[in-house]
Every structure is written in structure tokens, then in C-alpha cells.
Amino acid sequence: MNKKIDIENYLSSIKYTTRKELVEKTGLSDRTIRNLISELKTKRVVIYSSKTKGYRLAKEIKTMSDIEKEEETRLVEHSLNDCKSRTKQLNRQKRKYIAYLKKMEQIQLEEQNYNHIPRID
């Protein structure tokens, strides 16, 4: 069953919705929900954090009071900081993969050079 679902329709700008709730409401797998949320984050601001369970859409700026704007700013900054932290972690992981590939290439070149014995005729 491959349903095309707009995950944005299942999120609110008021209430947080967990992945578990999204899985139950949509019938999609947790992995699919994560992928849809990730894709949505490239189009809209989705508020989340390591401290809050669930996701919610950022509120429309023009509709908020000054106090709500301050709180929303704090939440978006927190989400951004979580994103930056994950980026740093992923970059550290990438360095290991790159180092491994470079080492593999180096060893393969050494083996090719070692196995290539020029003929003396």
C-alpha cells in the first residue's frame, strides 16, 4: 500500500504531534513518517527539539502577539541548534568514511605498484 500523503495536513501550529501518532493516523511506517517530516522541513519550518516529543508547524508571524513571537523565536532557535548539533555529528562521521576511502585507495595503489614488475628482456 503506497499512499501519497501530505504530512503537513497532519501537523498543527498549536499542538505537537508525535511520530507514533502520525504512524497511527496515516498507517505509514515510522521510517516513512521520518522521511516525510524531513522533506517537509525543506519547505516549512517544523518545530521540534530533543526535549519535546513531537513536531508542530511554526506559527504565522503576522498572527502572533509580541509574547508569542518571543516564544516562537526561542523554539525555532532551539530547533536550529538541534539541527546544527546533528550537522556537527554527521560531519565527524563523514570524516571517518572519507579517511577509510582514502586509505582503501592508497592500499590499492600500493598493491598495483607492487604487483607491477617491469619486464627486463
pLDDT of residue 2: 46
Contact between 16 and 26 (Cβ < 8 Å): no
pLDDT of residue 51: 73
pTM of the model: 0.71
Contact between 49 and 75 (Cβ < 8 Å): yes
End-to-end CA distance of the chain: 68
Q: What is the mean pLDDT of residues 102-113?
A: 91
pLDDT of residue 104: 95
- 1 pLDDT band, cuts 50/70/90, is very low
Residue 103, SS3 per DSSP? helix
pLDDT of 35 over the 90 cut? yes
66 φ, ψ to 5°?
A: -60, -40
The angle subtended at Cα 34 by Cα 29 and Cα 36, nearest 5°, is 95
- For the ranges 1-5, 36-40, 111-115, the lowest mean pLDDT is seen at 1-5
pLDDT of 13 over the 90 cut? yes
- According to DSSP, residue 14 is labeled S
Nearest to 36 by CA among 19, 52, 16: 19
Fold of 7-115: Arc Repressor Mutant, subunit A (1.10.10)
DSSP 45-62: -EE--SSSSSBEEPPPGG
| 55 vs 2, higher pLDDT | 55
